[in-house]
Amino acid sequence: MSDVIEYTKKKLPANWNKTGIVLFALGLILVILSFMTDVSRSSFNAVVFLTFLTSIGLGSLFWIATEYLSGAVWSTPFRRVAEFLASLLIILPLAALPSYFNLHDVFHWTHLEVVKGDAYLSAKQPYLNVPFFTIRTIAFFLIWIIFYFYITRNSLKQDTTKDQNLTKKNLRWSAIFIPIFALTITFFSIDWLMSLEPHWFSTIFGVYYFAGTALASMAAITYLVVKLNEKGYFVEGLVSDHYYSFGALLFGFLNFWAYIAFSQFLLIWYANLPEETLWFLQKWEGNWLYFSILLIIIHFVVPYFALLSQPAKMDPKRLKFMSLWILFAHYFDLYWISMPTYSEFAFMPGWIELGFIILTIGVIILVFNWKANKENLVPIGDPKLKRGIKFRL
Amino acid sequence: MSEKILYSYTALFDTPNQIIKAAKKVKEEGYTKYDVNTPYPIHGMDAAMELKPSLLPYVALVVGLTAAISMIIFLWWQNTIDYPLNIGGKPFFALPAYIPVTFEVTVLSASIATVVAMLFFVFKFPNNVHPLHDTDYMKRVSVDKYGISIQAEDPLFEAEKVKSLFNSLGASSITPIYYSDELVNFKPKILEPKFISFLIILFIVVSGATYITLNKLLFLPPYSWMMVQDKVIAQKTSDFFGGGSGMLTPVKGTVARGFLPYKFDKKPELAAKELVNPLMPVKKNIELGKTKFNIYCSPCHGYHAEGKSRLRGQFPIPPSLHSDKVRNWSDGRIYHVITEGQNVMPSYAHQLSRQERWAIVLYIRALQRSLNAKESDLQ
């Protein structure tokens, strides 16, 4: 391989930054207004906001680690997109603040007088108490940021030094990261989503959140890569063989999510124990019934058939549309998990929800834009890059 | 064997890059009947040969969807119409429970259908010969070479032109392939008497061996210990008492304890007249009657003897026990029906002891009284 890859750094389209700022400002105003009108409801939305950003950021770091561990070459040309998205991890502590300041509104187990009279909650108290909760959350953020920092720093260094040992170093970091990732994401989901309903427990819940995380972050990566590739940001460009791999991963994780979600439901439905069924019963009453049915359709049925055939997995238009769809489905999923605790019966989303969605989009665009304009969009020093660009099925 | 018929010209190449270039070039020249053989799948070959996507996915889709839908319909029919069973209080049509089964059946039928379609439509089963089989060309491309073969059937085929094309692409060797005798005179061998009889013998041997293994070999001594026991086996000779019989007949004129013969066989009128309830109508006896009534009688007669059967019409519904006829029966008459049965009602003499039968009579009386209370009961 004699030829060197020629890469000249291009700025992202200027309107991206503008869109990001407008959405962020609009979202922020709406969120502040909503905190002024309805603190409790806004805090629940803030939990969805936090867990969604975690999904995208942490999921992207997971895909980066997976690339190093599996020695994949097809994903090398656009690995930077995942790295930029992973930088959402840095702002997670900020994103956690709005709900953290209103823990009392969100988490039933923070009410000590209730815990005292409740056998279940007092048994769980050694784990579910505010100081330990705070320590855990900070520890998770720290661990993720450390891994993010080292892995992306090595990757960036490679751009100038072209040192192949850095790939090996990152391989080691990834190998350590994966088991820690499995544990931290499980406990994070237990802390922030499962303990919303502190009487309820499901041993598969961590996997359920992971399935959504991997799917949503892959969808975010897919959307950005396809969009940037159409504007010619990836040197020689990615082809349908790369697209097919995106489509296949999205399709695979859609099925994985459905499999896990159904496994969780089936066992609880079969055993029919009151302490387990309450979580699903809540979501099968009032307006939540329509949300639950919609979730099955939005998160599984429609994308399943939309991505089933081989040509559909390679079609850039279809991929862009479906990845946005899946991102929305994941937000909807998290919303469906958390909100029934806030309001058990007749409930309709309103402008408060819209504000949080706008803020989420704005934050993701701004963070991505900031990183993408600062650093190379292609890891030009990576030894796998050449093979990645020439990747054919 | 008269004259050899040319099947194709083949060329071997040394590197995957060469074979991709060759495939592209052959395609560009306009050949349609050609194929590439390589030791492993090569990335980018589909594009180089401009292959159309296979039709097999559609077979999988159609068969899979059909299987899924018919499985759901079958489960619905089985669980709500044909044999409704109450399982754990779930509804008869319990969709979540059907999904794993439906999923398995879908995957299984789709994959089997795809394999069968591949065998028959792609591999042309039962044809199992191909001109390229057992040639040196095929041996080389199974190990370390990359080969391409252009068939003589191709409308553009001219031996010299093909050879020069291969040469210009840098082929390391070029060989013609001829049809073998076997292929020219090909007849499917699947219906040959020899093959059929082989299948039949195979079937007999395998099923016989399975039977012998599962039923005989597994119980050879010392593993026969569960079958050799010191006990009387019904309908088998026994040496214990002598005379070969496993049991002795009772001495004449005696009866076993608790097995007094019933004197009023087929004589309901006599039973009604002569039998008297030996139990007192006290709480203990009535509660025993209630328990036994709810177990044995209520499935057909209903919990309150009103004739409200729980058997979903799978057994004729008996009349109410609150009718004037039954109310005017004596205790002995009711006892007789429980003991001997009546119409389609079978005898309960084996399930219920005498005392229990009399207790049920007491409970039935209590139920009857509850609908026809006397003036004195109200005080």
| pLDDT digits 0-9 by tens, B71-92 | 999 999 999 999 888 888 888 8
Query: Could you say which residues from 9 to 68 on chain B have a Cβ atom under 8 Å away from some Cβ of chain A?
Result: 43-44, 46-47, 53, 57, 61
Task: Tell me how far the alpha carbon of residue A364 is from its chain's centroid.
Answer: 11
Model confidence at B315: pLDDT above 50: yes
pLDDT at B228 over 90: no
| Cβ-Cβ contacts under 8 Å, B96 against chain A | 262, 265-266, 269-270
Of the candidates B47, B53, B100, the beta carbon closest to that of A310 is on B53
- Measured between beta carbons, which residues in chain B are less than 8 angstroms from residue A255? none
**Phi-psi category of B30—alpha, beta or left, where left has phi over 0 and alpha has psi -120 to 50?**
left
Question: Using a CB-CB distance cutoff of 8 angstroms, which residues of chain B are in contact with residue A244?
Answer: none
- The mean pLDDT of chain B is 87
User: Which chain B residue's Cα is nearest to A262?
Assistant: B96
Distance of CA A356 to the CA centre of its chain: 15
pLDDT at residue A11, rounded to an integer = 84
Summarised one tens digit per residue, pLDDT across range B277-298 is 888 888 889 999 999 999 998 8
- Cα separation of B33 and B146, whole Å? 18
SS (H, E, C) chain A: CCCCCCCCCCCCCHHHHHHHHHHHHHHHHHHHHHHHHCHHHHHHHHHHHHHHHHHHHHHHHHHHHHHHHHCCCCCHHHHHHHHHHHCHHHHHHHHHHHHHCCHHHHCHHHCHHHHHCCHHHHHHCCCCCHHHHHHHHHHHHHHHHHHHHHHHHHHHHHHHHCCCHHHHHHHHHHHHHHHHHHHHHHHHHHHHCHHHCCCCCCCCHHHHHHHHHHHHHHHHHHHHHHHHHHCCCCCCCCCHHHHHHHHHHHHHHHHHHHHHHHHHHHHHHHHCCHHHHHHHHHCCCCCHHHHHHHHHHHHHHHHHHHCCCHHHHHCHHHHHHHHHHHHHHHHHHHHHHHHHHHCCCCCCCCHHHHHHHHHHHHHHHHHHHHHHHHCCCCCCCCCCHHHHHCCCC
Residues with Cβ within 8 Å of residue B207, at least 6 apart in sequence = none
Q: What residue in B sits closest to A271 (Cα-Cα)?
A: B88
**Alpha carbons A174 and A145: distance in angstroms, whole number:** 13
Distance CA B263, CA B178 (A): 98
pLDDT band at B375 (very low <50, low <70, confident <90, very high): confident
Whole-angstrom distance, CA of residue A167 vs CA of residue A174:
10
Q: Is A272 on the interface with B (CB under 8 A)?
A: yes
Q: Quickly state the pLDDT bin for B182 (edges 50, 70, 90).
A: low
User: What DSSP element (H or E) covers B99?
Assistant: helix B95-117
User: Could you give the angle at the alpha carbon of B66 between the alpha carbons of B62 and B70, nearest 5°?
Assistant: 175
User: What angle in degrees, to the nearest 10, is found between the helix axes of A205-230 and A79-86?
Assistant: 120
pLDDT band at B3 (very low <50, low <70, confident <90, very high): low
Kindly identify which residue of chain A lies nearest to residue B42, measuring between CA atoms. A393
ipTM of the complex, rounded to two decimals: 0.81
A392 to B88: CB separation less than 8 angstroms, yes or no? no
For residue A227, give the nearest of A5, A389, A8, A377 by alpha carbon. A377
The sign of the CA dihedral B114, B116, B120, B125 is positive
The answer to whether the CB atoms of A272 and B96 lie below 8 A apart is: no
Characterise B99 by phi-psi region: left (phi > 0), alpha (psi -120 to 50), beta (else).
alpha
- Residue range B194-201: average pLDDT? 94
Residue in A with minimal Cα distance to B45: A393
> How far apart are the CA of B73 and the nearest CA of chain A, in angstroms?
20
What are phi and psi for residue B126, nearest 5 degrees? -90, 10
pLDDT at A3: 57
* Between B158 and B62, residue with greater pLDDT: B62
Say whether residue B99 is in contact with chain A using an 8 A CB cutoff: yes
Domain coordinates of chain B in residue numbers?
1-190, 268-373
Q: Tell me the C-alpha distance between B199 and B181, whole Å.
A: 27
What residues contact A245, with CB distance under 8 A and at least 6 apart?
Answer: A74, A75
pLDDT at B259 over 80: no
Which residues, other chains included, contact B11 with Cβ-Cβ below 8 Å and sequence gap of 6+? B22, B147, B148, B149, B166, B169, B171, B172, B173, B174
- Given a cut of 70, whether residue B171 has pLDDT beyond it is yes
Nearest to B96 among A269, A309, A310 (CB): A269
Residue A130's alpha-carbon distances to A102, A111, B183, in angstroms, are 12, 10, 81
The tally of CA atoms less than 13 A away on the side-chain side of residue B281 is 10
CATH architecture of B268-373: Orthogonal Bundle (1.10)
The structure tokens listed for A322 are: 């479906």
Residue written as token pair 């980018």: B44
Q: Is the peptide bond before B222 cis (omega within 30 degrees of 0)?
A: yes
Residue A2: the pLDDT is 44
Q: For B151, left (φ over 0), alpha (ψ -120 to 50), or beta?
A: beta
What's the average model confidence in pLDDT over B92-96? Answer: 91
CB contact under 8 A, B57 and A309: yes
Shortest Cα–Cα distance, B17 to chain A (Å): 13
Angle between helical axes of A88-100 and A79-86 (0-180°, round to 10): 30
Record the tokens describing residue A355, joined without a space: 């504000």
Closest CB to B96 among A266, A310, A311: A266
Element (H, E) at B36: strand B34-37
| CA A129 distance to own-chain centroid | 26
| Annotated domain spans of chain A | 14-389
Using the beta-carbon criterion (under 8 Å), do B47 and A392 form an inter-chain contact? yes
Mean pLDDT on B122-127: 80
Cβ count within 10 A of residue A182: 13
Low-confidence ranges of chain A (pLDDT < 50): 1-2
Which residue in chain B is spatially nearest to A273 when comparing CA positions? B88
Who's near B85: CB < 8 A, 6+ residues apart?
Answer: B79, B92
CB A42 within 8 A of CB A98: yes
Partner residue facing A392 (CB), from B44, B61, B97: B44
d(CA B221, CA B76): 49
CB within 8 A of A39, min separation 6: which ones?
Answer: A102, A105
Strand order through the sheet with B6-13: B34-37, B146-151, B6-13, B173-178
Summarize the confidence of residues B315-328 as an average pLDDT. 85
Closest CA to B364 of B334, B336, B344, B328: B334
Residues with Cβ within 8 Å of A332's Cβ and at least 6 positions away in sequence, in order, are A294, A295, A298, A299
Closest CA to A51 of A110, A99, A84: A99
On average, the pLDDT of chain A sits at 92
- Whether A159 and A32 have beta carbons less than 8 Å apart is answered as no
B47 pLDDT tier (thresholds 50, 70, 90) = confident
Whether A265 contacts chain B with CB within 8 A = yes
Q: Which band of pLDDT confidence, cut at 50, 70 and 90, is reported for residue B1?
A: very low
Burial of A116 (0-12, 13-18, 19+ CB in 10 A): exposed
Q: Which residues in chain B have Cβ-Cβ distances shorter than 8 Å to A310?
A: 53, 57
Q: What is the pLDDT of residue B118?
A: 92
* Chain B residue numbers touching A265 (CB-CB < 8 A): 96
Verify cis geometry, omega within 30 degrees of 0, for the bond prior to B126. yes
Q: Are A270 and B97 a contacting pair at CB < 8 A?
A: yes
CA distances from A290 to A13, A285, A296, A305, B44 (A): 40, 9, 10, 21, 47
Predicted confidence at residue A1, as pLDDT, reads 43
